[in-house]
């Protein structure tokens, strides 16, 4: 009789390890290849992908798997399926003969047992894959290839991806990200190099470039679409568009911006200065807020005199139905911070700090951001992209 109960207990414990038993999963891509002069860690470490659990009681690191990852490029290199059963992680660089070179792969990570994530497929993309998005119906994945000026298109069946085409974009566009509208019929590619947003038509597995573009600012980087499908919100590393008649000298060293544009018309609704190097914009699961991560000049190493004097910033904005943005919280964070994601109830925000090689935990009450320093999670390598099933 004792052995029967023991088996039953073991089965119950095993069930707690599957994806259905967790509260919320977040997936972090961590880059071990980036070595900065003066950094105490002066050797290459394995890249990895970490799985975290977000609960009302805190955030816990569940498991990690060795997998190609990259912190170079927009922090949108992770997409998690709606059911949190798998994730797609792009890797724009790899180590070859001891040198960091351009890569052309992405990995599919099985999250069915979050404490034991597994790489179950490696897919080939264009050169230097960056942002990745899964369609609202879960049947399509798009990957922006920065060095190839293209979008790779994959169908999804279960947890298997199949390449079905490549969308060629204008030469020199340098797409850093690509996002779907909520109805799944349109996608928008973010051209960092040519400062254009490029509209794509989606019909089943057929994705085509419409030749329609509009510019929200200089060097747009990452983007999200509002839940009503009307607006696209993106960061601009180079700030706002130059005012008519201004000189290039007058336009230098201006703050980065977050722009809101009408997707149907291309009209710029608002452009708001946010600060230096807005790496990531991520939308909350209910669509009411965005978080913006700003490097803020903190890309330094511990031997630099500015270490821990100049910190990254995390800012929260409330998103109006008319596309307006209202500052709703701000906090200083760690060094060289890049990616962030919300918990489902918006009360917890995870932020990756590549300089500190960790993930910081913030509590949010709608107006105030408070860092829970005791909850900081070390991931070893430099984290650069993070996502949940509902917040990317």
Ordered domains of the chain (ranges, CATH): 19-388 (2.130.10.10)
Query: Is pLDDT at 371 greater than 50 in this prediction?
Result: yes
> How far apart, in Å, are the Cα atoms of 267 and each of 59, 214, 226, 233, 383?
40, 8, 15, 12, 35
Rounded Cα distance between 22 and 129, Å, is 30
Taking a C-beta distance cutoff of 8 angstroms, is the pair 368, 328 a contact?
no
- The residue among 242 and 292 whose pLDDT is bigger is 292
User: Strand 99-110 and strand 86-96: pairing?
Assistant: antiparallel
Q: Are 19 and 111 in contact (CB under 8 A)?
A: yes
Chain centroid to Cα 82, Å, comes to 16
Q: What whole-number distance in Å separates Cα of residue 44 and Cα of residue 69?
A: 13
Judged against a pLDDT cut of 90, whether residue 15 lies above it is answered with no
Contact 256, 239 (CB under 8 A): yes
Q: Which residue has the higher pLDDT, 12 or 87?
A: 87
pLDDT > 70 fraction of the chain, expressed in percent and rounded = 92
Strands 220-225 and 206-214: what pairing?
Answer: unpaired
Q: Is the pLDDT of residue 180 over 50?
A: yes
pLDDT band at 249 (very low <50, low <70, confident <90, very high): low
- DSSP letter assigned to residue 373: G
Identify which of 191, 155, 153 has the alpha carbon closest to the alpha carbon of residue 173: 191
pLDDT tens profile 64-99: 999 999 999 899 999 999 999 999 999 999 999 989
* Statement: residue 231 has pLDDT above 80: yes
CB of 188 within 8 A of CB of 212? no
Which residues share a beta bridge with 281? 292
Q: How far apart are CA 142 and CA 187, in angstroms?
A: 9
What is the pTM for the complete model shown? 0.92
- 201 membership: H or E segment, kind and range: strand 196-203
């Amino acid at each position: 009789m004792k052995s029967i109960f023991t088996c039953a207990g073991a089965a119950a414990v095993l069930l707690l390890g599957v994806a259905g038993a967790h509260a919320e999963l977040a997936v972090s891509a961590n880059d071990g290849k980036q070595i900065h002069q003066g950094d105490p860690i002066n050797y290459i470490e394995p890249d990895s992908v970490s799985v975290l659990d977000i609960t009302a009681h805190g955030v816990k690191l569940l498991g990690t798997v060795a997998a190609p990852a990259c912190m170079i490029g927009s922090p949108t290199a992770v997409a998690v399926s709606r059911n949190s059963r798998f994730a797609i992680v792009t890797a724009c660089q790899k180590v070859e003969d001891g040198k960091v070179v351009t890569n052309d792969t992405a990995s599919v990570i099985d999250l069915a047992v979050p404490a034991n994530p597994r790489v179950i497929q490696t897919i080939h993309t264009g050169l230097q894959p960056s942002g990745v998005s899964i369609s609202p119906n879960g049947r399509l994945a798009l990957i922006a290839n920065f060095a190839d000026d293209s979008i790779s298109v994959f169908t999804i069946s279960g947890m298997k991806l199949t390449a079905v085409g490549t969308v060629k974009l204008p030469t020199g566009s340098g797409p850093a990200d690509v996002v779907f509208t909520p109805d799944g019929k349109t996608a928008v590619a973010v051209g960092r190099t040519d400062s254009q947003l490029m509209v794509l038509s989606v019909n089943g597995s057929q994705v085509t470039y419409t030749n329609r573009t509009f510019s929200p600012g200089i060097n747009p980087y990452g983007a999200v679409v509002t839940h009503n499908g009307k607006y696209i919100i993106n960061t601009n590393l180079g700030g706002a568009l130059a005012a008519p008649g201004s000189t290039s000298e007058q336009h230098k060293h201006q703050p980065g911006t977050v722009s809101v544009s009408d997707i149907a018309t291309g009209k710029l609704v608002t452009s708001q200065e946010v600060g230096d190097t807005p790496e990531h914009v991520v939308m909350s699961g209910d669509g009411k807020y965005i978080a913006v991560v700003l490097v803020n000049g903190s890309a330094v190493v511990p031997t630099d005199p500015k270490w821990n004097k100049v910190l990254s910033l995390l800012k929260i904005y409330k998103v109006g139905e008319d596309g307006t943005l209202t500052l709703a919280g701000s906090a200083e964070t760690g060094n060289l911070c890049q990616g962030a994601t919300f918990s489902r109830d918006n009360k917890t925000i995870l932020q990756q700090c590549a300089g500190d090689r960790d993930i910081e935990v913030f509590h949010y009450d709608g107006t105030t951001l408070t860092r829970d320093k005791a909850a900081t999670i070390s991931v070893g390598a430099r984290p650069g992209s993070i996502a949940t099933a509902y917040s990317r």
